[in-house]
Structure 1
């Protein structure tokens, strides 16, 4: 599979996770108090914002260059897959829009697991593309969870606006969860939908 194929797969995984989550949550509600519910939703909004900003930060460093060179600065100095890391943070924020801490964890961890298989296939491609240089990068930089002490950045970064716009468009899928889950919550409180499971 080409690198563009992997990127299409990444967007498909994101869309699938959010679609399945939406269908599942038609029948799930928060078991916490009203204050807890609102607090978890606010925390989730912060996570979604952090995830979107983090994804834009990653794209600023690597947009359009992944198949041409090994990017080892900015977020890519701390983890080999920062885009997927920030996507998982945003996914946890989506889960938190239900008001459930447990569902926030399920969404975040589920996203990490889904991306794990995409990462493994990408690594095979990149090893074939860059050989020993990529192996050295793998030896120094963790696969997923960032090591902040490794951070380094050049004085200048060449940014491709078209890549930033595409990443922002992808990120809007996370924000779309907010009105969708508010609608579900409204239908549940008015009795149109009956939740069969309540989670903290």
Structure 2
């Protein structure tokens, strides 16, 4: 029971970190614009839309495997066979997609790296929790599977899945926040073009 409560606190912390990251990203990007040509801007925006879609689908895919099971067992199938933290990987991809909505590759890259660094603190806490609760089996999993950057050749499918629809719906709904990036930055571009919002920085 205590382990489940601890895990709940870690997951709540993870959601708070993600919410703060998104808020900071949206605030900073009010005053940032692309320095590239219109054609490059549009191309980067489209790439950002693809990254956001990957993030939403990827986070939902992870929940199919981890939903409700993390406190009871070590999940090693599907995305968790390639990286120990696929939810965070897809969140970083989503952050890159949001940054790309400015039309800037530099902004997209910076936000992906910033998100990765922010999640590292949560990852370290979770690793201590999992090591304490699962011991040697988890340590063996740590040796076999990378902490963050996926190794696709390690992919292994689980024999079966126990799906909890409520958790999947919640993860999918959380991911929809990324979609808000498109209308938001279209509006930002409009106000920047008419001079209401000052452009403090232009990046390629």
Which interval holds the TM-score relative to the shorter structure?
A: over 0.9
Q: Deviations over 1:117-155 (max 9, x none)?
A: 100000010011101111111011111111111111134
Q: 1:51 aligns with which of 55, 60, 65?
A: 55
Q: What corresponds to 1:161 in structure 2? A: 165
Q: What corresponds to 1:137 in structure 2? A: 141
Q: Name the CA distance, whole Å, in 2 between partners of 1:4 and 1:155.
A: 27
Number of equivalent positions: 200
Q: 1:34 aligns with which of 31, 35, 38?
A: 38
- Is 1:87–2:91 an aligned residue pair? yes
SS at match of 2:180: helix
Aligned-residue CA RMSD (Å):
1.0
Q: What corresponds to 1:192 in structure 2? A: 196
Q: Name the CA distance, whole Å, in 2 between partners of 1:14 and 1:21.
A: 10
SS at match of 1:198: strand
1:5 Cα offset (Å): 1.1
Q: Mind listing any 5+ residue stretches in structure 2 that lack a counterpart? A: none
Q: Which runs of 4+ in 1 moved over 3 A?
A: none
Question: More deviation in 30-39 or 14-23?
Answer: 14-23
**Residues 11 and 170 in structure 1, CA contact (< 8 A), matched pair in contact too:** no
Q: TM-score, normalised by structure 2?
A: 0.95
Question: More deviation in 34-43 or 166-175?
Answer: 166-175
Q: TM-score, normalised by structure 1?
A: 0.97
Q: Name the CA distance, whole Å, in 1 between partners of 2:158 and 2:26.
A: 41
